[in-house]
Amino acid sequence: MIYLDAAATTPVRREVIEAMFPFLTNQFGNPSSHHGLGEAAAEALAGARREAAEVLGCQPEELTFTSGGTEANNLAVKGIALARRASNSRRNRIVISSIEHPAVFESVEYLARVHGFVVEVVPVGPDATVDPAVFASVLGAGTDVALAAVMYANNEVGTVQDISVLAHIATSAAVPFHTDAVQGAGWLDLAVYELGVDSLALSGHKIGAPKGVGLLYLRGGVQCEPLVHGGGQERGLRSGTENVAFAIALATALGLVDADRQARVQHAETVREMFIAQVLDRVPGALLTGHRTRRLPSVASFCFPGTSGESVLLELERNDVICSSGSACAAGSDEPSMVLTAMGIERSVAQTALRFSFGADIMSETLEKACDELAAAVRRVQRLRS
C-alpha cells in the first residue's frame, strides 16, 4: 500500500507508544490526587507541558492540553471572543479567512447564531493566500473586533500564510490573533513569540501521537472563557481529569518532529517537486491547486477536469494508493470544497480534486509509482465518462 493521506492522520510512532505506555498501566494515578501515585502523574504531566513549551518557545503555563485540534480551535475562538465582548460590549466582530478549517468556521457560526457576533470573512487569492492589505482593511481600527483568525497552513491545498505579518497587523490594532497550526506542526516553525500569535492550535495525530489529544497555546494575559466547567483543571480553562498518557504522547511526538525538522523538510520538498512535475507532465489537464512554492513540504493537491475526484480516488484505492478527495473532516459531503471555491475554482472543477500528502520518509520511487497509478486511473475514469 502507498499511503498518501498523512494530512488526514499518521500512525503512532513507536517512541511515542513507549513513552506513554507506563501511564496507561502501572503509573495510572490521577494528577489531582494528593498521594504518591497522583503526584507522580502530576509531575509527568508538568514534564510533558515543559517539553511541549520548549518546542513552541513559550512558557509551560501558556499551554492547555485538549482532546484534539478541533477542541483547541473551539476553545480559542469561542473563549477569546466571549471574554473580549464580556469586557467591552462593542467588541462584536470576528474576522476570519475564507479557507478556515470547519473547527473555526463552525465556531464563529455558532457565535453569530447564538451570541449575535458579526462575522467578516477575508477573501483569498487564486493561490489561497490572504493579502495582508486586504486583511488590514477588513480589520479596520479593530476597536470593535473580538478576534481575528487565519490558519497557518491550509489542510486541503497546503498553502502557507505569512502568519507573522498578519499577526503583527492584528496586534497593531490591539486585536487577539488566533491561528490553526494543525497541519503546520512538524513542517513549519512553531515559535509562537516570533510568530506573534496570541493563540495557536495543534493536534497530536498529525505528527505521530494518538488521535484524541491536542494542544492550545494561549499567550499569557489573554482572557479566555472556558467551554468545559468542573474541577478547574488546566488552570481553569479545561476542567476534567487530565489524560496524562496522551499529553506525554503529544509532547514526545512534538519533540521528535522538531528535532530533525530541517532535514525532513528538505527531503519532502524535493520529492514533492518531483511528484508535482510528473503529474503535470503525465496527466493531461491536471491543475495544481494552492500556492506554487509557499506550500507545505508534504502536500500536493490537484484538480482533474473532466473526471470525478471520488471516482479517481476509488480507482487509486483499488490499486493500493491511498489519498484523499479533500479534507477528511468533510468526509461524506458531496458538495465541492469550500476552500477551492473560495479560491475561485468552478464548482464542477472543484469536485475533481485530489490531495496527496505524505510523511517525511516517503521515497521518490514510491511517488513515481503513485504517479503511474494516478495517470492510469484518470484515463480510466475519463473513458468511462466519455
Q: Give me the amino acid identity at 374.
A: L
Do residues 62 and 218 make contact, with C-beta atoms less than 8 angstroms apart?
yes
Closest by Cα among 33, 18, 379 to 208 = 18
What is the pLDDT at residue 206?
97
> pLDDT tens digits for 256-286?
999 999 999 999 999 999 999 999 999 989 9
> pLDDT tens digits for 44-92?
999 999 999 999 999 999 999 999 999 999 999 999 999 999 999 999 9
Q: Is the pLDDT of residue 327 over 70?
A: no
User: Per-residue pLDDT averaged across 324-348, rounded?
Assistant: 78
Grid coordinates belonging to 231: 474541577
The catalytically annotated residue of 303, 323, 329, 371 is 329
Cβ partners under 8 Å of residue 149, min gap 6? 76, 77, 94, 95, 96, 97, 100, 104, 108, 177, 178, 179, 180
Rounded to 10°, the helix 132-139/163-172 angle is 20
User: Per-residue pLDDT averaged across 373-384, rounded?
Assistant: 91
Grid coordinates belonging to 357: 500528502
Q: Is the pLDDT of residue 386 over 70?
A: no
Do residues 159 and 291 make contact, with C-beta atoms less than 8 angstroms apart?
yes
Least confident piece of the model among 99-113, 128-142, 147-161, 331-345 = 331-345
Question: Mean of the per-residue pLDDT values for the chain?
Answer: 95
User: Per-residue pLDDT averaged across 225-241, rounded?
Assistant: 95
What is the pLDDT at residue 325?
86
329 as an active site residue: the answer is yes
User: Per-residue pLDDT averaged across 345-371, rounded?
Assistant: 95
d(CA 290, CA 287): 10
The class that CATH gives domain 2-9+260-385 is alpha beta
First to last CA, the chain: 30
Residue 327: strand, helix, or coil: coil
Phi/psi class of residue 179: alpha, beta or left (left: φ > 0; alpha: ψ in -120 to 50)? Answer: beta
Provide the pLDDT confidence category of residue 355 given band limits of 50, 70 and 90: very high
Provide the pLDDT confidence category of residue 326 given band limits of 50, 70 and 90: low
User: Per-residue pLDDT averaged across 300-329, rounded?
Assistant: 89
User: Per-residue pLDDT averaged across 203-219, rounded?
Assistant: 98
| Per-domain boundaries in the chain | 2-9+260-385, 14-259
Q: Is the pLDDT of residue 135 over 50?
A: yes
Provide the pLDDT confidence category of residue 331 given band limits of 50, 70 and 90: very low
> pLDDT tens digits for 168-184?
999 999 999 999 999 99
Q: What is the pTM of this model?
A: 0.95
CATH number for the domain running over 14-259: 3.40.640.10
> pLDDT tens digits for 84-129?
999 999 999 999 999 999 999 999 999 999 999 999 999 999 999 9
